[in-house]
Amino acid sequence: MAHYTKLEARQWARENLHGLANVVIPSFSQDLTRLNEKGIRHDVRRTIELGFTGTLLVAETATTLEEYIQFTNWAVDEANGKLTIIHHASFNTLEENIKAVQAAEEAGAELVLLSYPANFYPKDSQEIYEYTKTFAESTNLGIVLFPVPLWGFERLHPAAIDPKVIRQLLDDVPNIVAIKAEGGMPLIAGFTQCYQLFKDDVIVTNPLEKDAFALGNIVPIQWMGTSNYEMYGDVLPKLFTLMQEGKFEEVYEQYWKLQPARSTIGRFMASTDGAGLVNRMLWKYASWLTGFNGGPLRTPTMKVNHTHMSAIRQALIKSGIEVTNDDDSQFFIGRFPE
């Protein structure tokens, strides 16, 4: 259950959301018939070890609702208060998302990243407002609003969600506590406009490390999330600390060291843009290289092939990231197979 009321949600976020929130992608048994508890708990522990302050429990991996809530229970138990557990509101319908968030809140999640269903095709921006408000009214949890090209809302406004609609939502929905501002990506105007308009109301963040660590030298960024930051091991949490301490020369020195990995993985991710999906298999492989469980994912899933794996491994090494020496074939088995 939430440790705050809806009216306290924004104050709670200001006081408690700091640092970086990565992602944990669920692990499965070798026959893909059930979740892999050992692998999931290992990934939560690894997240804490690397210095992250929160983690998103990814829902877009063909888990059932019942499995996802079990995933949440294990993550909350293993984190034991050391991470902000973030629910991924990315199920099939509004009704299913309401059921999921209420169950996740009961299981101990403390924050929500709001997605929109693949079959949600609003005729105008008012429908986006109504969906968001109805969802928010179903939970006490703080909500991270997520304008991003993934939803296909650009036909209604180039920034994905019209800033006027965001203003209306912030006025009417007290438990929206943050904006993960990627509207208009790859432009940064989605972030800068949201920051200028809404920074006094809620936390406004840019989760893209390629932008955030440069912007953070100009404007204060108290929290970054959610993304696959774990592919860099513990580098980004340390970089965030340097940024908070105002050590800008050290920030830029480390920032540029990451360019080989940043550009390589960015190129592979760009190749999937037309699908409107994140390649979670590619993300899971990159995190396996830095100590996470790895293991198979259910169909439907995008794939990671030898070309991807070889290029990502070499790019991380070139960026100074310590990676496993295990053969890539071991990724598909995982560190804790069940």
DSSP 290: T
Q: Which tens digit of pLDDT belongs to each residue from 103-112?
A: 999 999 999 9
Length of the chain measured in residues: 338
Q: Is 182 in contact with 149 (CB distance < 8 Å)?
A: yes
Nearest to 51 by CA among 82, 73, 80, 78: 82
142: left (phi > 0), else alpha (psi -120 to 50), else beta?
A: beta
CA distance readout (Å), 141 to 51, 80, 197, 298:
24, 18, 23, 29
* Residue 85 vs residues 19, 77, 269: alpha-carbon distances, Å: 14, 10, 25
> Quick one: pLDDT band at residue 266, thresholds 50, 70, 90?
confident
Domains of the chain: 6-332 (3.20.20.70)
Structure tokens of 278? 């994140």
pTM of the predicted protein model: 0.97
What SS3 class is residue 82?
coil
Element (H, E) at 315: helix 306-318
Q: Tokens at residue 58, please?
A: 């990814």
| Cα separation, 103 vs 72, whole angstroms | 9
Bridge partners, 21 (sequence order): 54, 225
Q: 176-228, pLDDT tens digit by residue?
A: 999 999 999 999 999 999 999 999 999 999 999 999 999 998 999 999 999 99
pLDDT, mean over the chain: 96
Q: At 275, is the pLDDT very low, low, confident or very high (cuts 50, 70, 90)? A: low
Residue 158: DSSP 8-state: T
User: Read out DSSP for 163-215?
Assistant: HHHHHHHHHH-TTEEEEE--TTTTSSHHHHHHHHHHTTTSEEE---HHHHHHH
Closest by CA to 239, choosing from 210, 275, 218, 270, is 210
Amino acid identity for residue 151 in this structure: W
Query: Which residue(s) pair with 85 in the sheet?
Result: 55
Kindly state the tokens that stand for 168. Answer: 């209306």
How large is the average pLDDT for residues 77-101? 98
Average pLDDT over residues 297-317: 95
Categorize the per-residue pLDDT at 273 as very low, low, confident or very high, splitting at 50, 70 and 90: low
- Please state, for a pLDDT cut of 70, what percent of the chain lies above it: 98
Q: How far apart are CA 142 and CA 135, in angstroms?
A: 11
Neighbours of 1 (CB within 10 A): 11
CA distance 296 to 299: 10
pLDDT of residue 117: 97
Task: Give the separation between CA 13 and CA 176, rounded to whole angstroms.
Answer: 10
Q: What is the DSSP code (8-state) at residue 16?
A: H
Determine the average pLDDT of the residues in 41-47.
98
